[in-house]
Chains A and B, each alone.
Chain A
Amino acid sequence: MFISHKEILETVSMLQKQSLDIRTITIGINLLDCIDDNPSKLKQKIYKKITAKAKNLTAVAEEIQSKYGVPIINKRVSVTPIAALVNAGSFTDITPLAVMLDKAAADIGIDFLGGFSALVHKGFTKGDRLLLSSIPKALSSTERVCASIGVATTKAGINMDAVKLLGDIIKDTAAATADRDGVGCAKLVVFCNIPEDNPFMAGAYHGFGEGETVINVGISGPGVIRSAIAGNKSAGLSELAEIIKKTAFKITRVGELVAQEAAQRLGVSKGIVDLSLAPTPTIGDSVAEILEEMGLEKCGTHGTTAALALLNDAVKKGGAFAASATGGLSGAFIPVSEDSAMAEAAADGVLSLSKLEAMTAVCSVGLDMIALPGDISSENISAIIADEMAIGIINNKTTAARLIPVPGKTVGQRADFGGLLGNTPIIATSKYSAAEFINRGGRIPAPLRSLTN
Chain B
Amino acid sequence: MKAILTVLGKDKVGIVAKISSVLADNSCNIEDISQTIMDEIFSMIMLVTIDEEQINFNTLKTLLSQTGDKIGVQISLQQENLFNFMHRI
- Supposing A66-B58, A69-B77 touch, asked if A5 and B86 sit within 8 A by C-beta, the answer is no
Closest A residue by C-beta to B62:
A66
Closest B residue by C-beta to A3:
B83
Chain B residues, CB < 8 A from A5: 34, 36, 43, 45
A436 contacts the other chain (CB 8 A):
no
Docked-complex contact A3 and B43, CB < 8 angstroms = no
Closest B residue by C-beta to A252:
B86
Chain A interface SS verdict (over half): helix
Closest A residue by C-beta to B57:
A67
How far in angstroms is the closest Cβ of chain A from B52?
12
Q: Which of B1-45 contact A (CB under 8 A)?
A: 4, 6, 8, 32, 34, 36, 43, 45
Given contacts A9-B6, A12-B6, A257-B81, 5 further A-B contacts (CB under 8 A): A1-B45, A2-B84, A7-B87, A66-B57, A69-B82
B49 contacts the other chain (CB 8 A):
no
Bound CA span A254–B4, Å: 16
Proximity string of chain A (237-266) to chain B, C-beta cutoff 8 Å, 1 when within and 0 when not: 000000000000010011011000000000
Chain B residues, CB < 8 A from A256: 85
- Supposing A1-B34, A5-B34, A8-B45 touch, asked if A250 and B6 sit within 8 A by C-beta, the answer is no
Bound CA span A11–B85, Å: 11
B73 contacts the other chain (CB 8 A):
no
Q: Which of B33-89 contact A (CB under 8 A)?
A: 34, 36, 43, 45, 47, 57-58, 61, 74, 76-88
A70 contacts the other chain (CB 8 A):
yes
A68 contacts the other chain (CB 8 A):
yes
Which among B76, B77, B84 is the interface contact of A3 at CB below 8 angstroms? B84
Chain B residues, CB < 8 A from A10: 87
Chain B residues, CB < 8 A from A1: 32, 34, 45, 47
Chain A residues, CB < 8 A from B86: 7, 11, 250, 253-254
Bound CA span A256–B85, Å: 9
Proximity string of chain A (66-91) to chain B, C-beta cutoff 8 Å, 1 when within and 0 when not: 11111000000000000000000000
Closest A residue by C-beta to B1:
A67
Chain B residues, CB < 8 A from A70: 82
Tell me how many residues of A have a C-beta within 8 Å of chain B: 22
Bound CA span A70–B78, Å: 9
Bound CA span A281–B78, Å: 27
Docked-complex contact A8 and B79, CB < 8 angstroms = no
Closest B residue by C-beta to A4:
B87
Bound CA span A69–B34, Å: 20
Which among A9, A68, A250, A253 is the interface contact of B78 at CB below 8 angstroms? A68
Which among A16, A69, A253 is the interface contact of B85 at CB below 8 angstroms? A253
Proximity string of chain A (125-140) to chain B, C-beta cutoff 8 Å, 1 when within and 0 when not: 0000000000000000
Closest B residue by C-beta to A256:
B85
Bound CA span A146–B10, Å: 47
Which among A8, A250, A253, A257 is the interface contact of B4 at CB below 8 angstroms? A8
Docked-complex contact A66 and B61, CB < 8 angstroms = yes
Docked-complex contact A3 and B81, CB < 8 angstroms = no
Docked-complex contact B82 and A257, CB < 8 angstroms = yes
Chain B residues, CB < 8 A from A9: 6, 43, 45
Bound CA span A246–B47, Å: 25
Docked-complex contact B34 and A7, CB < 8 angstroms = no
Q: Which of A107-145 contact B (CB under 8 A)?
A: none
Chain B residues, CB < 8 A from A253: 85-86
Q: Which of A5, A8, A67 counts the most B-chain CB atoms under 10 A from its CB?
A: A8
